[in-house]
Amino acid sequence: DTAAPLALLKDIFGYDAFRPGQGEIVDAVTDGQNVLAIMPTGGGKSLCFQLPALLRHGVTVVISPLIALMRDQVRGLREAGVAAGALTSGNTPEETDAVWDMLHAGELKLLYLAPERLANAGTQRMLSQAGVSMIAVDEAHCVSQWGHDFRPDYLRIGELRRALDVPLAAFTATADEETQVEMVTRLFDGVQPTTFLRGFDRPNIHLAFQPKDGPRAQILGFAAARRGQSGIVYCGTRNKTEGIARALRDDGHAACHYHGGMEAGDRRDVEERFATEDGLIVCATVAFGMGVDKPDIRWVAHADLPKSIEGYYQEIGRAGRDGAPAETMTLYGAEDVRLRRSQIDEGLAPPERRQADHGRLNALLGLAEALGCRRQALLAYFGEEAAPCGNCDLCDRPPELFDGTEAVRKALSAALRTGESFGAGHLIDILLGKDTDKVQQRNHDQLPTFGVGKDLSRGQWQAVFRQMMGRDLMRPDAERHGALVMTDRALPILRGEESIQLRRDAVVKAAERRPAVK
Ligand code: ADP
Ligand code: ZN
C-alpha cells in the first residue's frame, strides 16, 4: 500500500512531503532490505527508520551514541502517540521497568538502546525474545576505528544482527569511502547493503574560498560585513580560537571561544549562550559541532583549512539549517597544506589509511583550487551530479584560466635541480633570479633554472605553487621541514605529455594584494 507511508508522514510526523531521498530510503527499509543511508546532518535521517518501524510488525531496535538525542526522540514519538522507549544510563529504575514491561507485552514499536547495553549478555537474550523486526543504527560511522567518534561497543552490532537475523538499516552523515567500507565490513559482514547517498546539496549556503593573505584581517573583514549575525569561526588551534575571539570583541562583536581544552562547564556555557543569544560569534576548534543545533547560524568561516572535504562539508553545513541564505568563507594557504600533511604523516594510522587521508585532503585542496562551480565539485565528490549553482564565488566570478604548463615545469625543475630539499620561498627566489644569502651559499645562481621565472611576480609564483599543491603535483615533506617533493602526478607534465590549466584570477589577485615583497 503506497499511500501508507505518506499518510503516516502526515498523521504522525506532521509533514506534507518527504525531503530529498527520504521516500526511497523509507521504502527500502520498510521492505526489509539491509540499508546504508548517507545523508547530511539535518537531512532528516531519523524519519527514515521511525516511519518504517511503524509500518513493520514488532519492535525496531535503534542504536545511537547520543543519549540526549535518544531521549528527545522518544519524547517526540510519545507525544505523537507512538509507543517508544529508551534503555540508557540516564534512565530512572521506574523508566527502565516501564520499558521492559511494554517490550514483554509486545506493545513497543521503537526501542532506543545505548551501545554500551550491547555488552550486557542479558540484553541480547531479552532482544531475542522480544520480536525484533529490524535494527536501525544511527551515527553508524562510530563503528569506524579510524574515525573520531569510534565507539568500541558499535563493534557488537554486527553480532547482534547475526543473532537476531533481522534486517539492519545504518545511517550516517559521514560520506567518505573508507568509512563506508568499514561500515559494510563491520555491520553487514562485508555484503554491500542497498546504499543511498542523498541530499548533500544545501543550496542556500554560499560557498567561497580565499587564499590566506593576512588571515586575521580577512576574518575580521568578513565578520564586519555581517554584524549582528550568528556565526562560527573554525580555527586550527586552541590558541587561535582565543586570539580571534579577542580580536572580534575588540572590533565590537559579541564573540567567545570554544575548544576541547576548556572545562565542561565553560563549554556548556558557550553552547547555551550561542543557542539563546542573537548575533554571537563562536571561535572554535572542531570540538564545537555535534551538539550544535541552532537553525539560524548565518555564516561559517574557516580561519584555517579543514582536515578533509568531509570535515569542510560538515562544518559549513552548520550554517543555514533554517533554509535561509547563509554564507561561508574558507581560508587556505601553503602552511595549512604543510600542517595537514604532517598531521597525517605523523599520525598512528597504518600506511593505507594515511594514503586515504592524503586523498581526502587532496579532494579538499582540489575544491579550494577548483576551476569551475564549487558546488558542482563538492557534490561530485559525494557522487551527486549538479549544474553550476549560481551561489558560489566561482559562479559569481568565473575564474579566467591560462595554460600553466610552462610555469609548472619551471617550478618542478627548480625543485628537482635542488634535490627536492627546499620550500616554495627559496624555489621562487631561484626562479626570480634573486641573489639571496641562501642562493649564494648553495651556488644556486649556477643552476640553469636560475632566473627563468622573471615573467611572473613573486605573488604569481606563490599562486602557482599553491595550485600545484592543490592538485597534488608537489607535496611538502614533513620530515624535511616542508621541503617540496614532486609526486607521480606531476610526471606527465614534466615529460610534456600533459598540459595543465591554472587559474589566472588567483595568480593576479595574489600579485595585486601583495606586491613583490618577501
Ligand atoms: P538528522 O538526524 O539527519 O540530522 P533529523 O532526523 O533530526 O536529522 O531531522 C532534521 C530536522 O528535519 C528535524 O527538525 C525534522 O523534524 C525535520 N524533518 C525531517 N523530515 C522532514 C520532512 N519530510 N519535512 C519537514 N521536516 C522534516
Ligand atoms: Zn557555483
DSSP string, 66-83: -HHHHHHHHHHHHHTT--
Q: What is the mean pLDDT of residues 38-48?
A: 88
Nearest-ligand number for the alpha carbon of 378: 2
CA of 227 relative to ligand 2 center, distance in Å: 25
How far is C-alpha 443 from the chain's CA centre?
A: 45
Question: Rounded distance, CA 368 to CA 377, Å?
Answer: 10
| Pocket lining: 46 vs ligand 1, CB cutoff 6 Å | yes
Element (H, E) at 497: none
Per-residue pLDDT, 2: 52
Q: 19 CB under 6 A from ligand 1?
A: yes
Q: What is the average per-residue pLDDT within 323-329?
A: 96
CB 241 within 8 A of CB 283: yes
- CB-based contacts of 355, cutoff 8 Å, min separation 6: none
Task: Confirm or reject: Cβ of 49 under 6 Å from ligand 1.
Answer: no
Which pLDDT score is estimated for 293?
A: 76
* Residue 191 near residue 33 (C-beta atoms within 8 A): no
Contact 424, 465 (CB under 8 A): yes
What pLDDT score was predicted for residue 447?
A: 95
Ordered alpha helix ranges (H), 327-373: 334-346, 351-368
Check residue 177 and give its pLDDT.
Answer: 72
Q: Can you give the pLDDT at residue 251?
A: 97
Which mutation among 9, 15, 174 tests ligand 1's pocket best, with the greatest number of atoms within 8 A of CB?
15
Average pLDDT of the segment spanning 488-494: 94
> pLDDT tier at 516 (50, 70, 90 boundaries)?
very low
Q: Of the ligands numbered here, which is closest to the C-alpha atom of 394?
A: 2
User: Closest Cα to atom 19, ligand 1: which residue?
Assistant: 44
Query: Which residue in this structure is represented by grid cell 543569544?
Result: 277
- What's the CA gap between 195 and 212, in Å, rounded? 38
Closest CA to 494 of 449, 442, 459: 449
Nearest to 348 by CA among 151, 145, 150: 145
Burial of 384-418, coded b for 16+ CB within 10 Å and e otherwise, reads beeeebebbbbbeeebeeeebbebbbbbbbbbeeb
**For residue 199, pLDDT beyond 80:** no
Beta carbons within 8 Å of 176's beta carbon, 6+ residues apart: 308, 309, 310, 356, 360
Chain position carrying cell 617540496: 484
Among 212-216, 336-340, 344-348, 465-469, the range of highest mean pLDDT: 212-216
Mean pLDDT, range 209-234, rounded to an integer? 96
State the ligand closest to the CA atom of 321: 1
Average pLDDT over residues 41-70: 93
Strand partners, 452: none
Tell me how far apart the alpha carbons of residues 382 and 420 are, in angstroms, rounded to a whole number: 34
Single-letter amino acid, residue 352? E
Residues with CB under 5 Å of ion ligand 2 are 373, 375, 389, 392, 395
Residue with the nearest Cα to atom 25 of ligand 1?
15
CA-nearest residue for atom 24, ligand 1, is 15
Specify the higher pLDDT residue, 514 or 376: 376
Average pLDDT of every residue of the chain: 90
Encoded amino acid at 120, one letter:
N
If one compares 113 and 200, the residue with the highest pLDDT of the two is: 113
Q: How close is the Cα of 200 to the center of ligand 2, in Å? A: 14
Neighbours of 149 (CB within 10 A): 14
Contact 149, 139 (CB under 8 A): yes
At 175, which amino acid appears?
A
Across 268-292, average pLDDT: 91
- Alpha-carbon distance 91 to 67, whole Å? 10
Instruction: Report how far ligand 1's centroid is from the alpha carbon of 41 (Å).
Output: 9
Does the beta carbon of 47 lie inside 6 Å of ligand 1? yes
Q: Is the CB of 44 under 6 A from ligand 1?
A: yes
Cβ–ligand 1 distance for 43 under 6 Å, the answer yes
Give yes or no for residue 22 CB within 6 A of ligand 1: yes
Ligand 1 atom closest to the CA of 39, numbered from 1: 3
Spell out the residues 6+ positions from residue 406 whose beta carbon is closer than 8 angstroms to its own: none
CA of 159 to the centre of ligand 1 (A): 30
pLDDT band of residue 290 (cuts 50, 70, 90) is: low
Measured in degrees and rounded to the nearest 5, phi and psi for residue 476 equal -70, 135
196 or 86, which is more confident? 86
pLDDT at residue 255 in the model: 98
The pLDDT > 70 percentage for the chain reads 96
Q: Atom 18 of ligand 1 has which residue's CA nearest to it?
A: 44
- Among the bound ligands, name the one nearest to the CA of residue 38: 1
The C-alpha atoms of residue 21 and residue 114 are separated, in whole angstroms, by 27
pTM of the predicted model as reported, rounded to 2 decimal places: 0.69
Categorize the per-residue pLDDT at 506 as very low, low, confident or very high, splitting at 50, 70 and 90.
low
pLDDT of 3 > 80? The answer is no
Q: Check pocket membership of 64 for ligand 1, CB cut-off 6 A.
A: no
The sign of the dihedral angle between the CA atoms of 492, 495, 499, 503 is positive
Neighbour-count burial for 314-331, b at 16+ CB within 10 Å, e otherwise: bbbbbbbbeeeebbbbbb
pLDDT bracket for residue 510 (50, 70, 90):
low
**Cβ of residue 41 lying under 6 Å from some atom of ligand 1:** yes
The better pLDDT of the pair 477, 455 is held by: 455
Spatial CB neighbours of 455, under 8 Å, sequence gap ≥ 6: none
* Ligand 1: nearest atom to the Cα of 46: 6
Q: How many CB atoms lie within 10 A of CB 491?
A: 13
Q: In this model, does residue 6 exceed pLDDT 60?
A: yes
**What pLDDT shows up at residue 514?**
44
Whether residue 518 is predicted with pLDDT greater than 50 in this model: the reply is: no
Nearest-ligand number for the alpha carbon of 376? 2
Residue 34: the pLDDT is: 96
Q: DSSP readout, 436-478?
A: -HHHHHTTGGGSTTTTTTTTS-HHHHHHHHHHHHHTTSEEEEG
H/E segment holding residue 128: helix 121-128
Most confident of 125-129, 153-157, 460-464: 153-157
Mean predicted confidence (pLDDT) in 370-375: 92
